[in-house]
Structure 1
Amino acid sequence: MPLMTHSLMCLPFAGGGAGFYRAWKDLPAHAPRIVPIQLPGREELFLDEPFHDAIAAADALAPRLAELAEGRPTALFGHSLGAVLAFELARRLERDPAVELTHLYVSGSPGPWTGRAQHATGLDDDAFLARVQEFAGYEHDALADPDMRELLLPILRADVEMHESYRPDSDEPLRTPITSLRATGDALVTRAEAEEWQQATTGAFRLVEPAGGHMYLTESPLPLIDAIAAVPAS
């Protein structure tokens, strides 16, 4: 089956939205069909209450993703916070006989059973943003604007709380194959931490190390697209 018939559902990183993936234009012919997943509290869902808990988020999102799959072979992708959301969604979609889940791609993230030693939740605004910048390895330009900062802070705080409080709801590994992406210059996630995802599946596992830093995808989606194209056909 040609790769173009596959869908890749993409979960955002903390503070991000579906617009990050919608901006991926002029992708190569071997790219899958990109399906950006929007979370409440941002962009067109700005008025909706954001999620504060990853397990509740996965429970709420899974039926929508099952509908969006439209019977196509479907893979999931997430970076950082998006990685753990994608993992929990994979667990739920594996149980749905109407969904053909082919692969889980996780990026910039330790294995799901490894939490952060330092937390940003509960800090005042300046300390919170400084800690988040340390975690992310970059600062979003919009946070330099006082008005945008006021709008974005509640969403970013909710996302960070969701990530920092996350604990998997099961110790059972997935059946779905996993590819873990960790950029060679990532100062936040070690190679050993990226390899922890091997324990999260009984299926095939690969570690892919593109060039760049923690937020390598802000430069180009091609490292992800090429990693997907390299997966052997099942």
Structure 2
Amino acid sequence: MSAEHRDRTTLLCVPFAGAGASFFYPWRTLSADQWRLVPVELPGRERRLMDDPFSTVVETAEDLIDDVAAAAGAADRTVLFGHSLGAVLAYELVHLLTGRGVRVERLVVSGSPGPWTQRELRATGLPDEEFLARIEEFSGFKHEALEHPEMRELILPVLRADCEMHEDYVPSTDEPVSVPITSIRGSSDALVTVDQAKQWRRATTGEFVYSELPGDHMYLVDRARELLDLIEADTARDRVARRRVASEP
């Protein structure tokens, strides 16, 4: 990796249920030279379309860890971001990265209750139309590709697998991470309450920050620039704090 790339913070972005790495491609333009933005490729979609999706978060994280560790280990500074399902996947990845001795600067979780809170209202196991209606109810967002029969046939199995792994998620350990955590919520999110988003405080022995941006559960569709600015502000504060500690006698 070039010195220019090493000087920038690497932002590893983990997709939400049914989404692929391409959701984050526009963020590269938005972030300009601010970040080295690396979307995480999940099995069963886009470039990994032929790979069967997993039905548990822990299995998926174990499948991803080699590629994620390579991307993180090649950078001076690494931040993980995940929204909804992506939040708990990112949390498991931080545990695995820590176990490998890879340093993560901050974990940013979005639109997610704490990792020990399971969703009471479920979509898993419902017939197709009810399942899709429940997902739309949860997120307030409907993927345009689901309107096309061919694309729907491809997306639906992945969405079902993602939904099952999210609704059945149990953390691999009760131990918190040492990495600082930022928890972000859309201010009108009907799926995740303020108290639930603040549950992430228990998931770290480091600094915890809670923030809101305008919008519902899928606020990040329209608020990507503000989200990136928020993440940058938190990570910049981390760097200032570390330099202060390093300069103390």
Does the pair score TM above 0.5?
yes
Q: After alignment, is 70-79 or 27-36 more displaced? A: 27-36
1:24-103 correspondence runs (5 A): 24-28=27-31, 31-69=34-72, 70-97=74-101, 99-103=102-106
The residue matched to 1:111 in structure 2 has which SS? coil
1:7-18 correspondence runs (5 A): 7-18=10-21
The root-mean-square deviation of aligned C-alpha atoms, in Å, is: 1.6
Q: Write the distance in 1 (CA, Å) between the matches of 2:32 and 2:96.
A: 30
Where in structure 2 are there 5+ consecutive unaligned residues? 243-249
Which 4+ runs in 1 deviate beyond 4 A? none
Equivalent of 1:209 in 208, 212, 219: 212
Aligned residues, how many? 232
Deviation at 1:187, TM superposition (A): 1.2
Structure number with the higher helix fraction is 2
Identity within the alignment, % = 50
Equivalent of 2:140 in 137, 141, 150: 137
Deviation at 1:214, TM superposition (A): 0.9
Q: Is the 8 A contact 1:184 1:213 kept in 2?
A: yes
Q: Is the 8 A contact 2:9 2:75 kept in 1?
A: no
The residue matched to 1:222 in structure 2 has which SS? helix
The residue type equivalent to 1:224 in the other structure is L
Equivalent of 1:153 in 133, 144, 156: 156
Indicate the residue corresponding to 2:125 in structure 1. 122
Where in structure 1 are there 5+ consecutive unaligned residues? none
The residue matched to 2:104 in structure 1 has which SS? strand
Q: Is the 8 A contact 1:31 1:225 kept in 2?
A: no
Q: Write the distance in 2 (CA, Å) between the matches of 1:34 and 1:156.
A: 24
Q: Is the 8 A contact 1:111 1:200 kept in 2?
A: yes
Q: Is the 8 A contact 2:109 2:184 kept in 1?
A: yes
Structure of greater Rg: 2
Query: What TM-score comes out, normalization by structure 1 length?
Result: 0.95
